[in-house]
Structures are given as structure tokens and as C-alpha cells.
Amino acid sequence: MIVSRFKFDGIINNVKVKTRYDKLLKEIPRMDCDIRRLEDQGKDTSKLEKILEDKKGELMEMSRKIYSAGKERGLIFVVSAPSGAGKTTICREVLKILPDLRFSVSCTTRPPRKGEKNGRDYYFISEEEFRDRIASGEFVEWAENYGHLYGTSKRDMEDLLGQGYDIILDIDTRGARQVKLIYPDSIFVFILPPSIDILKQRLRLRGSEEDDVMNVRIGRSIEEIKENEMYDYSIFNDKITDSVDILRSVYVAEKNKRKRLKEKIDNFINRR
């Protein structure tokens, strides 16, 4: 088969762009982790932060080149909340009614809780395997919570997005910040309890932790609520059914934004 020089150059360039894109996907989270570690040591990270910002800008440009003319790429919905606010229940209910939405299953080193299944709720792996994956740059985001590690697989996300599926991530505020580094066009939703008193009540009703751990969770929850400013939408979870309907409405609205339908609109006009 004869391939024109123009088309051949396009194929080569596309491969180079995709290779560079994959490399940036690994470099950015790793560099972000390095910066945080150096900051904890009291070292100046200003030069590294500038390099990181440049890489993030390059990644966004690469993303536009790869996906602007191909199959429509899925959207990412990041849902965060303090413990006890009900985000996992809301996410599960929304998944039942939105066929194009997929749950990105996270990895964790904690043992399964009653009723949880490997591959459905989490991928339960050893700490050694988890840290090997961190070193390999396999996670879009990862964090340590109460002695256990949690992380989102970059490969799993890219596979779903490339197939045109939309993704919902049930992650904490630290993970959301890491996702925003790599996927700044994601939609960020924060779930809040109706009140602080109800949040405390829900946490105590779980009854699975000692009082000192419970107090830590409550304090951490308050700090997470203060981070809601980085999110696009907020939902006060008073009634699950209402909260599910709000999140579904956010999804429908985002899917029908004019910028996401521009190609379809242009094709409609050109076929008159």
C-alpha cells in the first residue's frame, strides 16, 4: 500500500505526540510527589514548580492534538466529600441510571470490608505492590489515609476514556488536586452533609473505630470541607434521592455544553 508523504508524516508525528503524552502522564505525578517531599524537608522547590507548570501546559497541548479530531473522548467527574457525607452511595446510585458512565476502581492496601468485592469496590493489593506502582508512575493520584494507601490507575482511566466512556472518581480532596494537574478539564463535585452535627452523628453511627480515631476523622472532615472552593459544584446531601438527581443533572448539563457539541453542531450546519 502506498502512503502519501503528507499522511506518513502525520502518522509519524501522531506517534511522537502520543509517546510524549504518555511520558508526561508519568512524569507529572512523580514530579508533584517529589515537590511535596522536598517541601516537607523545608527545601526551595520554586524551580521544580516552574518546570512542573511547563509540563502541565505541554500535556494540555498534547491532549488537544491527540483527541481534537478523533473519537469523542469521555469526560471525568471527580466526586469528593468528607467521610460520612454519603458520596459513595450517591455515586453508586448515579451509575445505575447513566449507562455511559463508568466507575474507575481504585487500588488500596487496606483489607476488604464486609460486602466489598475485589475489582468492583477496590483492587486490594499489598503495600509492596502499591509502592512499586508509585515508583513506576502508574497512578494518576494516590494518597495515604489512616495508615492505608489508595490510588487511581492511569491505564484504567485512559482505557475507559479512549473508548468514549465517561468516568466517575470517588476520591478525597488530595487526590482531586492531583487529578486536576493532569486532567484540568474534569468536572469537580463536592458532597457536603446537611450540617456538622449530622456529619458527626453519621461517623459515630458507623461504630467501627475507637474514639481517638473518630476524633481524627471528624477533624480531617472539617479540613476537607474547607477545600470545597476548588470544586465546580456543591451538593448538600440531605436526602440521597435528591442528591442523586442533582448529580445526574450536573452530568446531563456538562454533556450538553456547547463546547462539547461544537463538532456535531458544525456538521449539522454544513449538511444543510
Based on the fold, state whether residues 59 and 90 are members of the same structural domain: no
**pLDDT at site 207:** 55
Q: Residue 16 falls within a domain, yes or no?
A: yes
Based on the fold, state whether residues 209 and 226 are members of the same structural domain: yes
2 vs 158, residue with greater confidence: 158
b/e map 132-169, b = 16+ CB within 10 Å: ebbeebbbbbbbeeeeebbbbbbebbeebbeeebbbbb
Based on the fold, state whether residues 131 and 198 are members of the same structural domain: yes
Based on the fold, state whether residues 55 and 148 are members of the same structural domain: no
Domain-terminating residue out of 22, 47, 67: 67
**Overall number of domains in the chain:** 2
Q: Kindly report, residue by residue over 124-139, the tens digit of the pLDDT.
A: 999 999 999 988 888 8
| Residues sharing a CB contact under 8 Å with residue 157, sequence separation 6 or more, in sequence order | 76, 104, 140, 167
Based on the fold, state whether residues 85 and 21 are members of the same structural domain: no
Based on the fold, state whether residues 109 and 227 are members of the same structural domain: yes
230 vs 2, residue with greater confidence: 230
Based on the fold, state whether residues 145 and 173 are members of the same structural domain: yes
Q: Residue 150 falls within a domain, yes or no?
A: yes
Based on the fold, state whether residues 63 and 105 are members of the same structural domain: no
Dist. CA 80–CA 247, nearest whole Å: 12
Helix (H), strand (E) counts: the chain:
10, 9
Cell of 188: 469537580
| Pairing between β-strand 166-170 and β-strand 76-80 as defined by DSSP bridges | parallel
Is a pLDDT exceeding 50 seen at residue 3? no
Cα→Cα distances 147→29, 62, 144, 169, 250, Å: 21, 36, 6, 21, 34
The CATH number linked to 251 is 3.40.50.300
Based on the fold, state whether residues 13 and 132 are members of the same structural domain: no
Per the structure, the complete domain to which residue 32 belongs is given by 5-67
Domain-terminating residue out of 67, 89, 109: 67
Based on the fold, state whether residues 93 and 222 are members of the same structural domain: yes
Is a pLDDT exceeding 60 seen at residue 68? no
Average pLDDT over residues 181-186: 86
Dist. CA 37–CA 219, nearest whole Å: 23
Q: Which residues pair with 172 in a beta bridge?
A: none
**pLDDT at site 37:** 84
Q: Residue 265 falls within a domain, yes or no?
A: no
Based on the fold, state whether residues 63 and 118 are members of the same structural domain: no
Q: What long-range pairs does 255-261 form, CB within 8 A, spacing at least 24?
A: 255/75, 255/166, 260/75
6 vs 129, residue with greater confidence: 129
265 vs 233, residue with greater confidence: 233
Q: Residue 14 falls within a domain, yes or no?
A: yes
Amino acid residing at 109: T
Q: How many CB atoms lie within 10 A of CB 179?
A: 21
Based on the fold, state whether residues 134 and 51 are members of the same structural domain: no
Q: Residue 269 falls within a domain, yes or no?
A: no
Out of 14-18, 167-171, 257-261, give the one with best mean pLDDT.
167-171
> To the nearest whole number, what is the mean pLDDT of the chain?
83
Least confident among 102-106, 160-164, 183-187, 207-211 = 207-211
The pTM score is 0.71
**Do residues 216 and 224 lie in contact, with contact meaning Cβ atoms separated by under 8 Å?**
no
Q: Kindly report, residue by residue over 100-124, the tens digit of the pLDDT.
A: 999 989 999 999 988 889 988 899 9
Domain-terminating residue out of 67, 102, 117: 67
Q: Residue 270 falls within a domain, yes or no?
A: no
Q: Residue 146 falls within a domain, yes or no?
A: yes
Q: Residue 84 falls within a domain, yes or no?
A: yes
